[in-house]
A and B are shown apart, each in its own frame.
Chain A
Amino acid sequence: MEAYREIILILAATIRVATPLVLAAIAGLFSERSGVIDLGLEGKMLAAAFASAAVAAATGSAWLGLGAGVAASLALALVIAFACVTHRGNQVVAAMAVNIIVAGLAPALALAWFDQGGQTPQLDGPGQRFLGIAWPWAQAARRHPVPGLAYAELLSGHNLIVYFAAALVPASAWVLYRTRFGLRLRAVGENPLAVDTAGISVNLLRYQASIISGILCGVAGTYISTAASAGFVRDMTAGKGYLALAALIFGKWRPYPTLAACLLFAFADAGAARLQGVPLPGIGVVPVQLIIALPYILTVLLLAGFVGEAVAPKAIGVPYTKEK
Chain B
Amino acid sequence: MEPESPALQAPGGPPGPALELCGIDKRFGAVHANRSVSLAVSKGSIHGLIGENGAGKSTLMNIVYGFHRADAGEIRVNGRRVEIGRPRDSIEAGIGMVHQHFMLVERFTVLENIVLGAEGGAMLGRGLGEARSGLGRLGRKYGLDVPLDAEAGHLPVGMQQRVEILKALHHRAEILILDEPTAVLTPAEADQLFRMLALLRDQGKTVILVTHKLREIMAITDRVTVMRQGSVVHETATRDTSPKALAEQMVGRAVLLKVEKAPAKPGAGLLEVRNLEVRDRLGVPRVKGASFSLRAGEIVGVAGVSGNGQSELIEALAGIRVPTGGSILLGGQDLARGSTGLNDRRSHGIAHVPEDRLRMGVVASFSAEDNAILGYHARQRFNRSGFMRRRAIREDCAEKMASYDVRPPSPSLRITAFSGGNQQKLVLAREIDCGPSVLIVGQPTRGVDIGAIEFIHRRIVALRDSGKAVLVVSVELDEIMGLSDRILVMAGGEIVGEVPGSEATEEALGLLMAGVKGDASR
Contacts and interface: CB of A to CB of B under 8 A. Distances in A.
A and B touch in the complex (CB under 8 A): yes
Interface of A: 177-184, 186-187, 190-191, 193-201, 314, 322, 324
Nearest to B107: A190
B127 to A, nearest CB: 7
4 nearest A-B residue pairs (beta carbon): A198-B117, A199-B88, A194-B103, A199-B91
A191 B112 contact: no
Interface in B77-133: 86-88, 90-92, 97, 99, 103-108, 112-113, 115-119, 121-125, 127
A199 B117 contact: yes
Given A178-B125, A180-B124, A197-B97, A191 B117 contact: no
15 contacts: A178-B123, A179-B124, A180-B123, A183-B115, A186-B105, A186-B108, A187-B105, A191-B104, A194-B103, A197-B99, A198-B103, A198-B116, A198-B117, A200-B88, A200-B116
A180 B67 contact: no
B65 interface: yes
B352 interface: no
Contact of B122 (A179, A197, A199, A200): A179
Contacts of B104: 191, 194
Contacts, number: 79
B68 A322 contact: yes
A202 to B, nearest CB: 10
A199 B123 contact: no
Given A180-B122, A196-B87, A199-B91, A191 B103 contact: yes
Interface residues of B, number: 33
Interface of B: 28, 65, 67-68, 86-88, 90-92, 97, 99, 103-108, 112-113, 115-119, 121-125, 127, 167, 171
B32 to A, nearest CB: 13
Contacts of A194: 103-105, 113, 116
Given A177-B124, A190-B105, 16 more contacts: A180-B121, A180-B122, A183-B115, A183-B116, A186-B105, A190-B108, A191-B104, A193-B103, A195-B116, A196-B67, A197-B67, A197-B103, A198-B117, A198-B118, A201-B88, A324-B68
A120 B92 CA distance: 54
A61 B103 CA distance: 51
Q: Which of A191, A199, A200 has the most CB of B within 10 A?
A: A199
Contacts of A184: 116-117
A180 B87 contact: no
Contacts of A178: 123-125
A102 B212 CA distance: 56
Contact of B108 (A179, A187, A197, A201): A187
B106 A197 contact: no
Given A190-B107, A191-B104, A180 B113 contact: no
A265 to B, nearest CB: 27
Nearest to B113: A194
